[in-house]
Amino acid sequence: MDSQERADLLIQIGGLSSAEVQDIETVLDMMPSLTLEVTCETEGEEGIQEGDIVTIHAWINVKRGNGLIGALPHAPYYPFQKEENYWFLLADSVPNNVWFSQKVSFMDEAAALTAASKTIEESMEGSGASVKETSRAVAEAVEKVKGGSRLVLGKFQAPSEGNYNLTCYCLCDSWLGCDRRTNLKLKILKRTRAGTRGAVLADEGPITEDGVEEDEDNEEEEYDDDYESEYSEDEEDDQNTKNKHQAANGTVNKHGQGAESSGSDEE
């Protein structure tokens, strides 16, 4: 119904006054209309495998009849000023499990701009994007925030393989009937990679470490044997040289050159 049809109905059938009808129209213009855009992916990979760290990327957009982005809800009997807040949840309704949740607010646009810009910039740089691509993505995020959207970005670990029919909820703590939800199908593949982001499988770690330690021990033993062998040869050479010097010194001393030989020995 448009505003005039609604006013006629409320006045003629509901028995409300024109002031009360105007009050209702003001509140209706404040009520939010939400839309969700959600994606889940493993960064740098084509598919999602069990055990992967999954990045959830969601944009929540709000529209109001009065054109405002952030607004105080109609709560005349609340003891103090009430701010509306939203909660984003990714959940599996079958076992009643929440996979991810985050609080979202539309009141502080400056904080939302800073958070979205920083998050997009870090995400793009982490994926190896160029400076130009990063700047473009940040500019798009800024425009979305100014247009009434808020970015939700988080991570969770993928469960065992299978097809999951998940539900994304955006729940409001201030307005009845303004919640929004959308379905999200997630396919988790069987693990075929050795790991992600340089991780090592648990059953491969000890084998590698033992092998390294064993090789190091062998190298140490071989090094010790060689060292002892070289040291023994040097010791024998020193002993032979000493004996030769002693014999030479005796001969030199016999010819009256003991002082010069003694000086050589000290050197």
pLDDT of residue 258: 44
pLDDT digits (tens, 9 = 90+) for 55-111: 999 999 999 999 999 888 888 899 988 889 999 999 998 899 999 999 999 988 999
Q: End-to-end CA distance of the chain, in Å?
A: 113
pLDDT value for 17: 93
Three-state SS string over the chain comes to: CCHHHHHHHHHHCCCCCHHHHHHHHHHHHHCCEEEEEEEEECCCCCCEECCCEEEEEEEEEEECCCCCCCCCCCCCCCCCCCCCCEEEEEEECCCCEEEEEEEECCCCHHHHHHHHHHHHHHHHHHCCCCHHHHHHHHHHHHHHHHCCEEEEEEEEECCCCEEEEEEEEEEECCCCCCCEEEEEEEEEECCCCCCCCCCCCCCCHHHHHHHHHHHHHHHHHHHHHHHHHHHHHHHHHHHHHHHHHHHHHHHHHHCCCHHHHHHHHHC
Q: What does the pLDDT read at residue 195? A: 52
Predicted pLDDT at 194: 63
Per-residue model confidence (pLDDT) at position 239: 55
pLDDT < 70: residue spans in the chain = 194-267
Torsion angle of C-alpha atoms 169, 174, 178, 182, degrees rounded to 10: -10
